[in-house]
Amino acid sequence: MVSPSHNAPGLSKNMAASGRHAGHYINKNSRSLLNHLDKLLGQRGFALSSVLRQQTATLQNDSTEAIVIPRKKTWGKEAVLEALASTVNRDPTAYHYQFQDDPYLSPRTSAESKLYSMSQESGRAAAKYFVDMYPKYFTKDFAEPHIPCLMPASVALSLEEVSEEALKERIGLRKVGAAVEMYDQLVQAGTPISKQMTYDLLDLICFYGDREPAQEGEPEADQTEASAEELRRKRGRFHRASDTLRGVWRENNNAERLFRLLPEREARCYSAVIRGMVKHGAFAKAFDMYTDMLNNRLTADVDIFNALILAVPEMREAYTEKVDFITDLLNQMSQQKVQPNLQTFNNVLKVLRRCGALAKSISLQTLSEMKALGIAPSLASFNHLLAIFYKGGSAADYPTDILQELLSEIETTSFTCQDPEDVWFFSSAMKICLETKDMKLGYKVQSLVGVGDNWRLLGDSYQQGMFYYRFFSLLCLMEHVDVVLKWYHQLMPSLYYPNPQGMRDLLQALDTESRLELLPSIWKDVKTLGHDNKSDLVEELLSLMAREKHSPEVQESFADCALDIKAAFDVDRRKPSLEWSPLALGHVTTLLLRAGRIPQAWEMMQLFKSKNRIPSEALLEDFLSQCSGAPTTAVELVKLSAAFCLPATPQLAQRVLLEFDLTEDQRTTLSELESSWDHNE
């Protein structure tokens, strides 16, 4: 970045760059030197002093031109790096930067990319595990300046005696069971425990629902089974997968026990318990606890209300009741002078999604409330809004153009992640654009992703894949094939690995504009992506190629492609291979025939025989017309069709007899076949 000078003393290893910084000392110092000289003048002889004074005078004369040296600018530590990084754009042909940029090592399919990124993460986790488990081997600190996150983190308990510090340590390391044990021991021993410590412990238990925090990668098999049992017992209706992950609030667990033991209960304890209950599914209890709190004349805080709003749909069934309950809660909130925050409104909108037709007007009211209070809505609020307004299956049910208004408002805003549900916005927005077949909106959503930091809110690989798949489908539906291809090369493979459906949309687009000469390159991409074992995709490709006759070069390329596809059907491969269908066989043979490759086409006919598939009549006719001058082949063909008992055998036999020069044996064979066929008829 800094240009190296040619006499740089030494370039260190690993591609170092040395910068020479030549600075001129500031004017101030040289002036002080001159001032010093003035003092010395008195000691010198007169003659000399006059000379010097003159010198000083001239210098001062010049310096009265006022050489203004501007004040040096200061900037943050990463400012230069960020400025240089802003000159770099995205590389459309490269895979994600975390992978090795090598033709052998880059992930070519979406499964591979997931596997590789997960393996990288698991490697990092394994390294972190070792560093944490055996910190005595990792004491030397190489990094300068110090990097704290690379140092061993303390995960093992160090304090064993029964004391408050030990309790604090256990709370800090998030060991729920051990902390509760320590607390019980302390209570039995009679030592006084500070209130803050008890409240911290209560927070810990409620947050984790009286379970240990899930370790990375350890499946909680037995726990989820147990909780699933409980869930099925408790609620007969359909339970979502998220419930099993959350776990269940057991009766009389440690949190409730601790709560009852508390001498005085502040709002903070109630907050912890209520939020824990809502998080882990004990909704009715949460409301009971809330009324309890009100009876004790304590004011709830904003987090309690947020949790209670979330619990509303579990407590009431009818839409109107839900809405009334929410309004009731909000009124109580304003009565208790609690300021709502972004999470409150997001939760309200989330619950409104399950409130049917009433939701539309109320959600708009909610948005205006947010604006009045000066809280900027996050992408999660917009997501809920879209879900409320664009409910239902078909595009005809969408009388509103709320997405358009929304996008025009937030066109240039860069969002940060404020709610875990933010990541759903982009994929649902693109889904709506696809369903309403609105290309302009699609482009707007796509450009919104490029604004500032919004790309971080695209979500995990699944959501990203969904987003780009829907965008690409929309493009294939609506846009000219040149634009489609341009976007295809932009998005693939750096951002998006197309799934088979996406490739079929692309084939459709190519077909619509009859740009079928690009099909061989599409097949290459299909093979790279690992979709060459999807039979419907391959068959569609083949049928598109075989449908019409094209110019000779195109036919040649199609024939090469057909041979390649034939190789994909072969058995000796590791992956589960495709089964030949009669259509596929027919198409490949047609393509080979059209390019004039008779021997390979003959191999295909043998394949017909070995796989017991029946060729079509048109194919056989085609073959005959192609193989003029090879009478043996023709005779073999007729024999083949006789073996299959095709009704076209006599016509074929006749044609061969007429058109070809045959030997006597061949003639007899053919006439036999013809006659035997007639007899069978």
Restricting to residues 70-109, name those near other proteins by CB under 8 A: 70-73, 75, 79-80, 83-94, 101-104, 106, 108
State in angstroms the smallest separation of the CB of 42 from other proteins: 13
State in angstroms the smallest separation of the CB of 92 from other proteins: 8
Site string for other proteins, 253-272 (x = CB under 8 A): --------------------
State in angstroms the smallest separation of the CB of 11 from other proteins: 8
Whole-number Å distance between alpha carbons of 17 and 1: 8
Whole-number Å distance between alpha carbons of 347 and 278: 13
Q: List b or e across 226-251, with b for residues whose CB sees 16 or more CB atoms inside 10 angstroms.
A: ebeebbeeeeeeeeeeebbeebbbbe
- Residue from 11, 57, 118, 133 touching other proteins (CB under 8 A): that is 11
CB under 8 A: which stretch of 11-19, 114-122, 413-421, 454-462 binds other proteins? Answer: 11-19
CB under 8 A: which stretch of 63-71, 131-139, 219-227, 461-469 binds other proteins? Answer: 63-71
**Does residue 115 interact with other proteins by CB under 8 A?**
no
State in angstroms the smallest separation of the CB of 70 from other proteins: 4
Q: What ranges in 64-94 are assigned the alpha helix state H?
A: 79-85
Site for other proteins in 27-46 (CB under 8 A): 27, 29-30, 37, 40, 44
Helix (H, G, I), strand (E, B) or coil at 36: helix
| Token pair 């549900």: residue | 421
Could you count the other beta carbons within 10 Å of the beta carbon of residue 485? 19
Whole-number Å distance between alpha carbons of 380 and 660: 75
CB proximity list for 109: less than 8 A, separation 6 or greater = 497, 528, 529, 530
State in angstroms the smallest separation of the CB of 412 from other proteins: 22
- Verify cis geometry, omega within 30 degrees of 0, for the bond prior to 520: no
- Closer to other proteins by Cβ: residue 124 or 235: 124
State in angstroms the smallest separation of the CB of 327 from other proteins: 52
Nearest to 308 by CA among 260, 358, 342, 273: 273
Helix 342-352 and helix 359-373, axial crossing angle in degrees, nearest 10 = 170
Phi-psi region of 56 (alpha: psi -120 to 50; beta: other; left: phi over 0): alpha
Chain-centroid distance, C-alpha 254: 38
CB under 8 A: which stretch of 6-14, 317-325, 353-361, 504-512 binds other proteins? Answer: 6-14
- Closer to other proteins by Cβ: residue 51 or 318: 51
Site for other proteins in 296-325 (CB under 8 A): none
Phi-psi region of 174 (alpha: psi -120 to 50; beta: other; left: phi over 0): left
- Closer to other proteins by Cβ: residue 13 or 679: 13
State in angstroms the smallest separation of the CB of 84 from other proteins: 6
State in angstroms the smallest separation of the CB of 540 from other proteins: 23
- Closer to other proteins by Cβ: residue 16 or 618: 16
State in angstroms the smallest separation of the CB of 627 from other proteins: 33
**Does residue 22 interact with other proteins by CB under 8 A?**
yes
**Does residue 59 interact with other proteins by CB under 8 A?**
yes
Contact 92/494 with Cβ under 8 angstroms?
yes
- Closer to other proteins by Cβ: residue 48 or 153: 48
State in angstroms the smallest separation of the CB of 113 from other proteins: 13
State in angstroms the smallest separation of the CB of 492 from other proteins: 9
Site for other proteins in 526-545 (CB under 8 A): 528
- Closer to other proteins by Cβ: residue 30 or 122: 30
Site string for other proteins, 546-585 (x = CB under 8 A): -------------------------xxxx--x--------
State in angstroms the smallest separation of the CB of 561 from other proteins: 15
Q: If residue 5 lies in a helix (H) or strand (E), which one and from where to where? A: none
Contact 467/430 with Cβ under 8 angstroms?
yes
Contact 470/433 with Cβ under 8 angstroms?
yes
**Does residue 658 interact with other proteins by CB under 8 A?**
no
- Closer to other proteins by Cβ: residue 91 or 121: 91
- Closer to other proteins by Cβ: residue 547 or 573: 573
- Closer to other proteins by Cβ: residue 50 or 628: 50
Handedness of CA 418, 421, 427, 432 (dihedral sign): negative
Site string for other proteins, 371-410 (x = CB under 8 A): ----------------------------------------
Nearest to 469 by CA among 441, 436, 491, 444: 491
**Does residue 7 interact with other proteins by CB under 8 A?**
no
Q: How far apart are the first and last CA of the chain?
A: 87
**Does residue 610 interact with other proteins by CB under 8 A?**
no
State in angstroms the smallest separation of the CB of 183 from other proteins: 42
Site string for other proteins, 451-490 (x = CB under 8 A): --------------------------------------x-
CB under 8 A: which stretch of 65-73, 322-330, 442-450, 473-481 binds other proteins? Answer: 65-73
- Residue from 50, 54, 55, 154 touching other proteins (CB under 8 A): that is 55
**Does residue 501 interact with other proteins by CB under 8 A?**
no
- Supply angle C-alpha 240, 241, 245, rounded to 5: 125
Helix (H, G, I), strand (E, B) or coil at 235: coil
Whole-number Å distance between alpha carbons of 258 and 253: 9
State in angstroms the smallest separation of the CB of 642 from other proteins: 31
The encoded tokens of residue 387 equal: 């879900």
Site for other proteins in 129-148 (CB under 8 A): 142-145, 147
Handedness of CA 466, 467, 472, 474 (dihedral sign): positive
SS3 letters across 260-311: HHCCCCCHHHHHHHHHHHHHCCCHHHHHHHHHHHHHCCCCCCHHHHHHHHHH
Whole-number Å distance between alpha carbons of 667 and 620: 19
The encoded tokens of residue 75 equal: 């900037």
State in angstroms the smallest separation of the CB of 541 from other proteins: 19
**Does residue 48 interact with other proteins by CB under 8 A?**
yes
